[in-house]
Structure formats: structure tokens, C-alpha cells
């Protein structure tokens, strides 16, 4: 891995994907996740003014918690979240211009890919990680098969990951896992039920450490 940030993602093995309808709620959800022991936070670009959430979380967590940006799908977003202080970037897929912009940001990044050709394109652009998305649709056998031709690719399966599937994904060779709606359910956000979010995070951490 080329950076400390990349190494910390590989060490921590869990990336919390935070989606919310407003940026303050995203910050509160991230706080609840951190309280439950998850140390890598990815604020998605679908959060309105998500750059404010990234900047605020960077202020709050100067040590031990990484704050990145996810669902980065345009070159403008790359610039905006990098300016806000994102420490890593995640895209759900990768067109060549977007992958070039991600690489030129100088930040470690995960490029979304599902097929061998997409993985090769991500590699050619210097992706630190491949976000295997949507992971639950194809399952752990997909990852096992991909690791044959791509033994050195750092895969981060994301999509439908739950405490029950953390072990199987890690056993199949995932470097880390991304998890969003199972960790921060929309209903918990509507109800401002941050305790449930913290409990979900605690369960994920326990599954990782099992």
C-alpha cells in the first residue's frame, strides 16, 4: 500500500459508508459509528453539502479516525471533497477521466469495479483499492475467483455487508469491507436513533475481531 492512510484502511478492515439527507445528520451518524468502534468514515457525495460534513469530521477527529469521501462520480466532486479535507476517495465505478482525476488528486483511492476488465482499468490508473460493488449480488465466490488472476489487488467488497457476512468476506481475501445501510439504516436516521447505529457498529467490530 502506498500510503499510511491505505495501510490504516487495511488494518482497520471496516469502512462505514455514511449517507444522510443533511450534512449535520451525517456528522451525528459518523459520531455514533465512531462511538461503536469503527475508525474509517466515508461520507458519500450524495449527502447535501457533504463537504461540510467532511470538514467538520476532520476537525472533530484529528487522531485515529480517517475521514474520506465516497460515491465520487464526477471530476468536480473529486476537487470539492479533496478541498474539504477528505483523506481518501471512493468511487462506485470508474470512467477513464474520473480515474485520472482520482489519481491526480494525490489521495489514496478505491475505484469501483466488478469485472476483470474494470479491475485492470482501475489498476492502470493506480487505484490503491478496488471497491467490489455491489458485493452481495455476486457473493464471496466471485471474490475468490477474482483473486486468482488478481492476487495483489486490495479488494473492498461493499454492498449488503452485515455482521454475518464479515467473516466469510475476510476469509475469502477481502482487505477491508464497506458497509452503509446495514450500519446506518435510513429508519434509524429518521428516528434520530443513534444508539442503534452505535450498536450496529459494535456488532460489526465484534464480527471483524472474531
Q: Under the rule (CB under 6 A), what is the footprint of ligand 3PG?
A: 17, 70-71, 92, 158-161, 178-182
Considering the complex, state which of residue 181 and residue 196 has its C-beta at the smaller distance from ligand 3PG.
Answer: 181
Distance CA 31, CA 202 (A): 13
42 is a catalytic site residue: yes
Distance CA 33, CA 40 (A): 9
To the nearest whole angstrom, how small is the minimum distance from the Cβ of residue 17 to ligand 3PG? 4
To the nearest whole angstrom, how small is the minimum distance from the Cβ of residue 193 to ligand 3PG? 17
Eight-class DSSP state of 158: B
Helix (H, G, I), strand (E, B) or coil at 89: strand
Is the torsion defined by CA of 71, 185, 129, 151 positive or negative? Answer: negative
Catalytic-labelled residue, pool 42, 56, 77, 203:
42
Considering the complex, state which of residue 90 and residue 119 has its C-beta at the smaller distance from ligand 3PG.
Answer: 90
Cβ atoms of 179 and 161 closer than 8 Å = yes
Give all strands of the β-sheet with 14-18 in edge-to-edge order: 155-157, 129-132, 109-113, 89-90, 66-70, 40-44, 14-18, 177-179
11 is a catalytic site residue: no
Question: Which residue's C-beta sits nearest to ligand 3PG?
Answer: 180
Find the radius of gyration of the CA atoms of the chain: 16
To the nearest whole angstrom, how small is the minimum distance from the Cβ of residue 62 to ligand 3PG? 25
Catalytic-labelled residue, pool 77, 87, 131, 203:
131
Considering the complex, state which of residue 148 and residue 154 has its C-beta at the smaller distance from ligand 3PG.
Answer: 154
Considering the complex, state which of residue 158 and residue 198 has its C-beta at the smaller distance from ligand 3PG.
Answer: 158
Please identify every residue annotated as catalytic.
42, 131
Amino acid at each position: 500500500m502506498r500510503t499510511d492512510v491505505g495501510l490504516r484502511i487495511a488494518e482497520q478492515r471496516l469502512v462505514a459508508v455514511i449517507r444522510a439527507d443533511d450534512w449535520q445528520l451525517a456528522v451525528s451518524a459518523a459520531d455514533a459509528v465512531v462511538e461503536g468502534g469503527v475508525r474509517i468514515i466515508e461520507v458519500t457525495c450524495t449527502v447535501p453539502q457533504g463537504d461540510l460534513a467532511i470538514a467538520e469530521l476532520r476537525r472533530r477527529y484529528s487522531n485515529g479516525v480517517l475521514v474520506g469521501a465516497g460515491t465520487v462520480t464526477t471530476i468536480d466532486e473529486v476537487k470539492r471533497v479533496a478541498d474539504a479535507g477528505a483523506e481518501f476517495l471512493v468511487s462506485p465505478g470508474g470512467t477513464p477521466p474520473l480515474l485520472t482525476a482520482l489519481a491526480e488528486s494525490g489521495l489514496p483511492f478505491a475505484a469501483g469495479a466488478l469485472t476483470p476488465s474494470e479491475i485492470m482499468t482501475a489498476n492502470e490508473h493506480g487505484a490503491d483499492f478496488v471497491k467490489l460493488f455491489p458485493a452481495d449480488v455476486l457473493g464471496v465466490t466471485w471474490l475468490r475467483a477474482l483473486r486468482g488472476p488478481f492476487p495483489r489487488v486490495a479488494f473492498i467488497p461493499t454492498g449488503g455487508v452485515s455482521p454475518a457476512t464479515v467473516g466469510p468476506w475476510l476469509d475469502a481475501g477481502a482487505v477491508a469491507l464497506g458497509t452503509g445501510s446495514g450500519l446506518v439504516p435510513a429508519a434509524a436516521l429518521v428516528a434520530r436513533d443513534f444508539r442503534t447505529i452505535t450498536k450496529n457498529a459494535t456488532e460489526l467490530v465484534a464480527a471483524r475481531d472474531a
